Structure 1
Amino acid sequence: MKASTKAIVEQGRFRVLKERSKRSNQQQQCGGAVVYWMFRDQRVRDNWALIHAVDQANHFNVPVVVAFNLFDQFLGAKARQLGFMLRGLQELQSSLMETLQIPFFMFQGEAVETIPNFLRECEASLLVTDFSPLREVRKWKEEICNRVGDSVTVHEVDAHNVVPLWVASQKLEYSARTLRGKINKLLPEYLIDYPKITSPLTKWMEETPVIDWEGLIANVLSKGAEVPEIGWCEPGETAAMEVLSGSKDGFLTKRLKNYSSDRNNPLKPKGLSCLSPYLHFGQISAQRCALEARNLRKLHSQSVDSFLEELIVRRELSDNFCFYQPHYDSLLGAWEWARKTLMDHAGDKREHVYTKEQLESAKTFDPVRWMYWAKKILEWTTEPEEALSIAIYLNDKYELDGRDPSGYVGCMWSICGVHDQGWRERPVFGKIRYMNYEGCKRKFDVDGYIAYAKRLVNGSKKRKKAWLARQ
């Protein structure tokens, strides 16, 4: 299958994971549908992978279909995460058909089986997939490439990062400092507005199965009831755009001006963008967020620059780490100096040691559970390996945006000093950056934060009790 001569999506934005065989090219210039296996970027608007799929389909006069594979509690996801995702996908299915007349297929099981089977059923000639640096997803793609026929080409599109990962850097970067210049140099080329996407010229004429959304959602809520859904964050593309720039309480319209000063104050949650869940599930494009924020730089230059640093450089640094470091969730992934200092102090006496269950229940002496919780887990467990394992477990299980490169890097920064430098040596931590209760008191109103956190916890318990009573 030859590439489009005037592709809408820049060559650097996608890469070829598998080419169809020369023999297949000679026998058949174009095949059946273009299938877009959606995984990380769950949106219709501002989606380079979908744009590429439609562009390629139009070039060969074939239809486009979108396929999604639902895994059973992927990396420990519970009702909180899966309910949010499925409700967003339900909206996506309707939007996809209403605006582009593209059908949406939902599969359950192992993607290495469901996706190749579907490609054979619709005699697909091109599989388009979005990009993820996570080990599991990359293994699935490798296996799918091995299982699909010689007549299928596979393209991977980085629709998640502003600058495609493999373009930004071809190696593991040491810190934000080493990646920032490379990304900033490429922003004029890649931080551009999206082309208008229209319905494919050739329509899908086959039957599209009806999806039992109510049944799917009820099933994941039942299986993952241990971590129930939250009520403060509405899922889906529409809600994501409202959070970004809505007239009522949009980040860019109402809250951006104080971002640089308020984002690290836990007593001011509205100081944050609140976009992380939407970015994680791909319900909004980071590139769209960056474009809209950049338009406001003259009004709030410091806050816009801080936001773009977090949105682009820091997020893409996390992808870089997880892509080029296969041990992104292990002490083996730490720099040599960090591994050495942690091992040197692994046997240091801990004043407090808690079990995984105690930490999960927040049964510790420390009343503050803020951004330094992963730092304290290093101090409160018997060894660094255990600390990292528990930190990742808690993050993936409870955070809406868990199971994400930014989450893994956050835990690795806290415990293993990734993207950081060595500091003054001290017990347990060695040269890893240290944080403590007194330091928090100097930064914000600790008593006010504790009172605020207790109100949130009590409210959450009441909602969970009410939800269980209805079951």
Structure 2
Amino acid sequence: MNSLDQLAADPRIVMRNRAALDPRGRCVVYRMRRAQRALDNPALNTAIDAANALAQPVVVFFGLLARHPQANLRHYTFMIEGLAETARKLAQRRCGFVLRACDGANSADEFARFCSEVKPSLVVCDEDPGRRDAKWKRETILYPSAPLWSVDADVIVPSILLEKEQFAARTIRPRLQRRLPGFLKPVGNPLARVPWKAERKIKSQAVSAELIGCLHIDRSVSSTDAFRGGTNAALSALRRFVRERLGNYASDRNHPEVEGTSQLSPYLHFGQIGPHTVALAIQEAAAPARDRDAFLEELIVRRELAVNFVRYNPHFKTLKSVEPWARRTIRAHAGDPRAYLYTAGQLANAETHDRLWNAAQRQMVSRGWMHGYMRMYWAKKILEWSGSAAEAYDVCVRMNDRYELDGRDPSGYAGIAWAIGGKHDRAWGPERPVYGKIRYMSFASTSRKFASRAYIEQWSA
């Protein structure tokens, strides 16, 4: 078995076609999508290792969608800040970086044109749990002359090894724990032996703030100064969390007024930091074991349960994704009267009778991030104030994806499915109006669990 065969045997790698190596190939191309980083990136490492075995250079391609129906100035500012840093760090690893803005409809065509220019022996992509087989098949048809490998760089245990959708944390936890010793280890950051030498005919757009001005995106949701994009900012946030908040994580994580969480979700969503980097830092921290274990449960078990949900459930953006027991109780209570009904516009503007909910909405709209405990309450109340559970689900998805920096993420979709449809949960009794057997949260019970008055005052109008 040669070195490339050994590399291909890595369980993180999915072979998307069976093409032979192109003997005319001049490089290895890594099409970067979700894992937008040069540090601890298994997909980038696979491309570099393959290129070193072939004695060829590596070039990274990023197709920036010039039009996107959901993304906006907030998302693009954060992403481009990170990509500018990633381009510099790739150069330090002797890899090229090419960015081209393209419409969503022709992004695959643009990548195929790029491949025809650089002539890759092998193409590597990072896995996206939301991509279905049909999309992968279309891409292999567009550029069929080189093997296409996709690498799971977004999780610790490759999601393909779980084979099917898992019912709850209790079912995925033992499966992950059995495999963690083999995967929770330093990823490594090899250098490309053959440096990429940019050719003048290979066009690439400069990654800078000026690039945003060329994009046809929604500018009504402004960027936020609460988060700056990039791996360096992510590492700083991680170090700050370990130093200041990890030691009380188990007790403080559900206290929105003290923000006892890591606030790493935007960086994880854009792939500016990887789960291996975070998990290993937590394992090595001098915090109490109960706090480290509580955080790793969220980072590994809960987060990878969400990735599993999106990968194996094609209806993850709708109420169709929930379990039969939840659909039954939702149908049984569909006609229950609602004490309050709010339009999507009223919700977006935080114009409800509930001061706590309004505070959470304002935090999300102004900062691009909402505390995880408040996200649960936020979605539960939308269920209570909407004409139907399906409408509530849709409103939650649209607002989450519009305002949150980590919108369009598996964890967000799983959280909405849990809140509205009991996903990854169980039936609760006694039955309540509107909720039925879906777990209930109230203003009174939620407010008693933390200093809600301080939180409301912090995010008052």
Q: Fold-level match, TM-score > 0.5?
A: yes
* Aligned residue among 228, 232, 247 for 1:234: 228
Q: Which amino acid aligns with 1:184?
A: Q
Q: Is structure 2 residue 33 aligned with structure 1 residue 43?
A: no
Rounded to whole Å, the distance in 2 between the matches of 1:203 and 1:78 is 33
Provide the C-alpha distance between the structure 2 equivalents of 1:259 and 1:175, rounded to a whole number of angstroms: 23
Which residue of structure 1 lines up, in the alignment, with residue 92 of structure 2? 98
Match of 1:211 in 2: 205
In 2, the alpha carbon distance for the partners of 1:50 and 1:380 equals 46
Match of 2:166 among 143, 167, 173: 173
Equivalent in 251, 270, 274 of residue 285 of structure 1: 274
Give the drift of 1:116. 1.5
Per the alignment, residue 259 of structure 1 pairs with: 249
Once the 2 structures are TM-superposed, how far is the Cα of residue 365 of structure 1 from its aligned partner?
0.7
State yes or no: 1:273 paired with 2:269: no
Contact 1:65 1:204 in 2 (8 A): no
Question: SS of the counterpart of 2:167?
Answer: coil
In structure 2, how many angstroms separate the alpha carbons of the residues matched to 1:65 and 1:80? 28
* 1:27-77 C-alpha deviation (Å, 9 max, x unpaired): x54622211110100000100000000111111122211011112454511
| Aligned residue type for 2:354 | D
Using the alignment, how far apart are the partners of 2:127 and 2:281 within structure 1? 23
Is the 1:277–1:400 contact (alpha carbons within 8 Å) kept by the matching residues of 2? Answer: yes
Q: CA deviation at 1:3?
A: 6.3
Partners of 1:266 and 1:449 within 8 A in 2: yes
Residue range with higher mean Cα deviation, 363-372 or 409-418? 363-372
5+ residue gaps in structure 1?
459-471
Is it true that 1:19 corresponds to 2:40 in the alignment?
no
Distance 1:72 1:244, change over 3 A: same
Match of 1:61 among 47, 55, 58: 55
Q: SS at the partner of 2:234? A: helix
Distance 1:275 1:73 in 2: 26
Equivalence for 2:141: 146
Amino acid in structure 1 at the alignment position of 2:248: N
Matched, 1:116 2:104: no
Percent identity over the alignment is 38
- The CA deviation at 1:444 is 1.3
Query: Distance in 2 between the 1:18 and 1:274 partners?
Result: 38
Given that 2:23 and 2:121 are in contact with CA atoms closer than 8 Å, whether structure 1 keeps it comes out as no
Letter in 2 for 1:127: V
Alignment CA distance shift 1:101-1:69 (3 Å): closer
Cα deviation code 1:67-120 (max 9, x no counterpart):
111124545111111110011101111221134242333342232211112112
Map 1:43-442 → 2, pairs under 5 A:
43-74=37-68, 76-109=70-103, 110-135=106-131, 139-149=134-144, 151-167=145-161, 169-201=162-194, 203-207=196-200, 208-212=202-206, 213-220=208-215, 223-245=217-239, 250-269=240-259, 271-296=260-285, 299-369=287-357, 370-371=374-375, 372-424=377-429, 425-442=431-448
CA distance in 2, matches of 1:188, 1:391: 37
What's the CA shift string for 1:133-192, capped at 9, x where partnerless?
Answer: 114x7654331112212x21100000110011012x111100010000110111110001
Counterpart residue type for residue 413 of structure 1: W
Cα distance change on mapping 1:139 and 1:242 into 2, 3 Å = farther
Q: How many equivalent pairs are there?
A: 438
| RMSD, matched Cα | 1.8
Mapped to 2, the partners of 1:95 and 1:11 lie a distance apart of 25
TM-score between both structures, scaled by the size of structure 1:
0.89
Equivalent pair of 1:14/1:158 in contact (CA under 8 Å): yes
Q: Secondary structure at the match of 2:164?
A: coil
Amino acid at match of 1:146: I
2: distance between equivalents of 1:200 and 1:140?
A: 33
Contact 1:80–1:224 (Cα < 8 Å) also in 2: no
Change in CA separation of 1:356 and 1:387 when aligned onto 2, cut-off 3 Å = same
Q: Aligned partners of 2:241, 2:214: CA distance in 1, in Å?
A: 33
Normalising by structure 2, report the TM-score.
Answer: 0.91
Render the CA deviation track for 1:393-440: whole Å, top value 9, x for unaligned.
000000000001111111111001000000111111111001110111
Counterpart residue number, 1:462 = none
Shift of 1:18: 0.8
**2:367 matched to which residue of 1?**
none
CA contact (8 A) 1:240 1:278 kept: yes
- Residue 202 (structure 1) shift: 5.1
Question: Separation in 2 of the partners of 1:31 and 1:129?
Answer: 17
| Structure 1 contact 49–129 (Cα < 8 Å) conserved | yes
1-structure distance, mates of 2:448, 2:97? 55
| Distance in 2 separating the partners of 1:192 and 1:352 | 51
